[in-house]
Amino acid sequence: MDWLAKLGQATIDRFAAIGRATGMLMGAIIAAPQVKNIPLTIKQIYVVGVQSLSIIVVSGLFIGMVMALQGYTILVDYGAEGSLGPMVALSILRELGPVVTALLFAGRAGSALTAEIGLMKATEQLSSLEMMAVDPLRRVVAPRLWAGLISMPMLTMIFSAVGILGGHLVGVEWLGVDVGSYWSIMQSTVEWNEDVMNGVIKSVFFAFVITWIAIFKGYDSTPTSEGISAATTQTVVYSSLAVLGLDFVLTAIMFGIE
Amino acid sequence: MTSRKVEVLVGLFVALAIAASLMLALNVASQGSVGQGDTYTLYAKFDNIGGLKERSSVKVGGVVIGRVEKIKLDPKDFTPVVTLSISTTYDQFPETSSASILTSGLLGEQYVGFQPGFTIDDIENLADGDYIADTKSALVLEDLIGQFLFSKGSD
Amino acid sequence: MKNLIDIDSLTFKRGNRVIYDNISLHIPEGKTTAIMGPSGIGKTTLLKLIGGQLRPNSGDIKFRGESIPGMTRKRLFHVRRQMSMLFQSGALFTDISVFDNIAYPLREHSNLSEDLIKTIVLLKLQAVGLRGAVNLMPSELSGGMARRAALARAIALDPELILYDEPFAGQDPISMGVLVKLIKELNNALNLTSVVVTHDVNEVMSIADHVYILAEKKIIGSGTPEQIKQSDSALVQQFLRGEADGPVPFHYPAKSLEQEFLGVN
């Protein structure tokens, strides 16, 4: 009987947390369109976007290079190394770009967001805003949410572009695939709507989920050092799992066979 | 509140993202690709479509003019009906045009090769929703081998 | 004498733990009221109740006769502009400078020009003696300076009520003296109502007009500092003199020694 009660308690806790998270989201989104928030959002784009740029560029470059190397060794056996371009481009645009960017974003920016908001709570900064008659959802949560939603698709674009250049570097410059066939076959295969935009749409969904989880975990954390460190870990774990799960669902909807 | 440096760096970030999307648009994705602009629909019946798939290209002399929109089986006579969406830029094909399913290279993907027919005064152009009368089915390797063996055997 | 805040038969629970059991207290306008009591009895909670951040389980809290728990969020935000709170940690925003911290409530709630804001900020900093630290970041301030800067921020909008949460905790004697002087001067100069929550008996006795002592979920003593000093309650006397043992036991409730070590019942 005891475990049954515990199961019930855990379920109730989960649902209560989902309810609080939704409430927070609503508060932040309704509070969003304000002129005073624009400089704050720009600052947050700097924090979550610009500061994630180096890790995104370096990872994109290496992933593109590895894709080209792996792809070449397989394709060359069939004499089809001309298809290296579309292979690299499609796998990066459709999958690796959005997903790897999201995972890196969760690790780099998501954890930082949770820790920052958790610490603001622990040092009474959120309470202090409340007492100044300033809604923390409006001034703290909303700019971060928008910054995440704006930055992630841009980071994904940059990741994909750099990855394809990395593929060019290894495939064309090093392994000697014909430069014309790398780019022209890629161009004839890749479609803007189907491949590029779907990747970007995926990244918008990922951004939303990661930023939401990260901000909520910080906002809802126990204001102690253990509480914040646990919340930070949970952010990375939950948002990574959510990204991978959501990726399957989105892929099934976008590219799924009817 | 936002310092100058932050503003400049965010500006650079946005510029970089725009550059990346331009590169994706111009160098990576197909330019002026069919499916974006206005299209009109043509139908073609084939006896056998081989490995043709939705989104396969429709080409005239190697130039892509459209895509395969849908592949269905006609429920009455059990022949595959292929729906082609063709860019409205190319809407002057005469009714005598023919479509055949071809393969690019030995192992390459299959596409619909479109052959514009001759134009005489009383022949109209293909319009939206028309069927292409003259079609050639895909070559199926097994059939070819079978025919080859059969003709060998009858020698 | 008019009361700015009236607390009527307030009960507050955290989970199943009762923090306040049916307490009533009144905070007169323009005076300094001290609320004292041992650590861990939720004095900060009381301030959060007054600020409307927490809701009581029963009873009422009135600000100028208007019930705080009964307000809409919008009305509450409006009322909060007339009060401000000095947090124990100072709660300065760590990502912006001292100047921006103090300008923050002004920029949020007024449409003053930047020039005017600059003048006000410098005046407020002058009042707490930190005009020289205007361009420092909060991390560069000492604990006492951070609290003074936070005080400057708390008075930026000229509130009518300031809630001080443990203003003297963890301060060296000099900064403590500075803070006592500031609270007293602000109260006199601006005709503010102050509520000081603390357990530093001597400091607060010197500035308070009225004192409440909270312990064991109840108010165990109230009156002017003189009346409190003469109180015949053993608990109040133990608290004032800082005795280790008395009605508040030295030992956390535990089994008897015999039981613990010998297993004797």
Tell me the chain C residues in contact with residue A36 when contact means C-beta distances shorter than 8 Å: 107-108
For chain A, the residues whose C-beta falls within 8 A of a C-beta of chain C are 36, 123-125, 127-128, 130-135
Pick from A36, A117, A124 the residue to mutate for testing the C interface (most C CBs within 10 Å).
A124
**Is the pLDDT score of B35 beyond 50?**
no
The pLDDT tens digits of the residues spanning C19-33 come to: 888 888 888 888 888
Which residue intervals of chain C are DSSP H helices?
43-50, 73-80, 98-109, 114-128, 143-154, 173-190, 201-207, 225-229, 234-241, 257-262
Query: Cα–Cα–Cα angle for C185, C188, C193, nearest 5°?
Result: 105
Structure tokens at C100: 């921006």
Question: Using CA atoms, how far apart are residues B32 and B88, in angstroms rounded to an integer?
Answer: 12
| Better-predicted residue by pLDDT, C122 or C204 | C122
Structure tokens at C141: 């301030």
Chain C partners (3+ C-beta pairs within 8 A): A
**Nearest CA to CA, how far is B116 from chain A (Å)?**
22
- CA C18, chain centre distance (Å): 21
Return the pLDDT at B143: 77
Is the pTM above the cut of 0.90?
A: no
**Could you tell me if C71 and C109 are in contact, meaning their C-beta atoms sit under 8 angstroms apart?**
no
**Could you tell me if C26 and C6 are in contact, meaning their C-beta atoms sit under 8 angstroms apart?**
yes
Mention every residue, 6+ apart, whose C-beta is less than 8 A from residue A30. none
Contact B28 A164 (CB under 8 A): yes
Mention every residue, 6+ apart, whose C-beta is less than 8 A from residue A190. A86, A89, A90, A93, A196, B28, B29, B30
Q: How confident is the model at residue A33 (pLDDT cuts 50, 70, 90)?
A: low
Tell me the chain A residues in contact with residue B10 when contact means C-beta distances shorter than 8 Å: 42, 45-46, 49-50
Contact B107 A188 (CB under 8 A): no
Nearest to A152 by CA among A202, A191, A216, A214: A202
List own/partner pairs for A29-33 with CB under 8 A and 24 or more apart: A29/A142, A29/A145, A31/A135, A31/A137, A31/A138, A31/A142, A32/A138, A32/A142, A32/A145, A32/A146
Mean pLDDT of A182-196: 81
Mean pLDDT of A188-196: 82
Return the pLDDT at A155: 94
The pLDDT tens digits of the residues spanning B75-111 come to: 888 888 999 888 888 888 888 888 888 877 666 677 8
Q: What is the largest CA-CA distance in chain B?
A: 92
Pairing of β B57-60 and β B63-73 = antiparallel
Judged by DSSP in three states, B13 sits in: helix
Tell me the chain A residues in contact with residue C139 when contact means C-beta distances shorter than 8 Å: none
The pLDDT tens digits of the residues spanning C90-146 come to: 788 888 888 888 888 888 888 888 888 888 888 888 888 888 888 888 888 888 888
Structure tokens at C48: 């959060």
**Could you tell me if C214 and C36 are in contact, meaning their C-beta atoms sit under 8 angstroms apart?**
yes
Return the pLDDT at B34: 45
The pLDDT tens digits of the residues spanning A94-132 come to: 999 999 999 999 999 999 999 999 998 888 888 888 888
Chain A partners (3+ C-beta pairs within 8 A): B, C
Tell me the chain A residues in contact with residue C107 when contact means C-beta distances shorter than 8 Å: 36
Tell me the chain C residues in contact with residue A123 when contact means C-beta distances shorter than 8 Å: 89, 91, 94
Q: What are the CA-CA distances from residue A145 to residues A110, A197, B7, C77 (Å)?
A: 11, 22, 19, 23
For chain B, the residues whose C-beta falls within 8 A of a C-beta of chain A are 1-2, 6-7, 9-10, 12-14, 16-17, 19-21, 23-25, 27-31, 33, 35-36, 55, 57, 64, 107
Place of tokens 């809409």: C72
Structure tokens at B145: 């081998």
Q: How many Cβ atoms are within 10 Å of A237's Cβ, its own excluded?
A: 12
**Is the pLDDT score of C156 beyond 70?**
yes
Return the pLDDT at A111: 93
Instruction: Give the DSSP per-residue string, C116-139.
Output: HHHHHHHHHHHHHT-GGGTTS-GG
Pairing of β B110-115 and β C218-223 = unpaired
Mention every residue, 6+ apart, whose C-beta is less than 8 A from residue C84. A131, A132, C105, C153, C154, C155, C157, C159, C161, C162, C163
Return the pLDDT at C265: 61
* A43–chain B Cβ distance below 8 A for any pair: yes
Mean pLDDT of C54-77: 84
Tell me the chain A residues in contact with residue C87 when contact means C-beta distances shorter than 8 Å: 124, 127-128
Q: Which string of b and e fits A73-104 if b means at least 16 CB within 10 Å?
A: eebeeeeebbbbbbbbbbbbbbebbbbbbbbb
Return the pLDDT at B33: 47
**Is the pLDDT score of C162 beyond 70?**
yes
Return the pLDDT at B32: 47
* C105–chain A Cβ distance below 8 A for any pair: yes
| Better-predicted residue by pLDDT, B127 or A60 | A60
Structure tokens at A71: 């792809």
**Is the pLDDT score of A190 beyond 80?**
yes
Structure tokens at A42: 């720009």
Contact B24 A191 (CB under 8 A): no
Query: Cα–Cα–Cα angle for C110, C163, C190, nearest 5°?
Result: 60
Place of tokens 């009591």: C37
Return the pLDDT at A65: 95
Judged by DSSP in three states, A187 sits in: helix
**Could you tell me if C88 and C169 are in contact, meaning their C-beta atoms sit under 8 angstroms apart?**
yes
Average the pLDDT over each of A41-55, A197-211, B6-20, C196-210 and give the range with the smallest value.
Answer: C196-210
**Is the pLDDT score of A7 beyond 70?**
yes
Q: What phi-psi label fits residue A233: left (phi over 0), alpha (psi between -120 and 50 degrees) or beta? A: alpha
